């Protein structure tokens, strides 16, 4: 294991390379939620990182980028199911853990309207 404070390269799904500090605090669910909310409200613009559009991928992971943030969503039958991971520009990360309780996925914190707007934007990205 590298010494504390050193840097490593992390590859997220799909391939994304960034440098993240091992000593960085985890990204909170609320911080990740705020980015998703800003996308849904049109405050931030996202762009798809993968080749396959949301509507051509019946089920699987889709990654987007917005303002230096890299977010990976799980598309379940063309429905936004959950946020698999979220990496912010300063290197902190949120990663989904299905064993965690309700309210630990940023998508769950979105209002019904915000969720619908984000899903619409994913379908056209």
Residue-by-residue DSSP string for 24-51: PPPPPHHHHHHHHHHHHHTSS--EE-SS
Establish if 101 belongs to a structural domain: yes
Q: Determine the Cα–Cα distance for residues 49 and 78; give it in Å rounded to an integer.
A: 17
**Owning domain of residue 59:** 25-124
Span 90-118, average pLDDT = 88
Q: How confident is the model at residue 88 (pLDDT cuts 50, 70, 90)?
A: very high
The pLDDT of residue 103 = 63
Q: Write phi, then psi, for 34 (nearest 5 degrees).
A: -60, -40
Does the pTM of the predicted model rise above 0.85? no
> Can you read off the two tokens belonging to residue 84?
């698999």
User: Into how many domains does the chain fold?
Assistant: 1
């Amino acid at each position: 294991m590298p010494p504390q404070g050193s840097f490593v390269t992390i590859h997220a799904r799909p391939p994304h390379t960034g440098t993240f500090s091992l000593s960085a605090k985890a990204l909170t669910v609320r911080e990740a939620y705020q980015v998703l909310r800003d996308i849904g409200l049109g405050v931030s613009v996202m762009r798809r990182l993968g080749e396959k559009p949301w509507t051509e991928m019946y089920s699987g992971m889709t990654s987007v980028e917005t303002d230096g943030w890299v977010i990976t969503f799980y598309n379940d039958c063309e429905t936004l199911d959950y946020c698999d991971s979220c990496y912010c520009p300063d290197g902190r990360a949120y990663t989904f853990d299905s064993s965690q309780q309700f309210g630990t996925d940023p998508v769950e914190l979105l209002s019904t309207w915000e969720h619908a707007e984000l899903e619409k934007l994913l379908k056209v990205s």
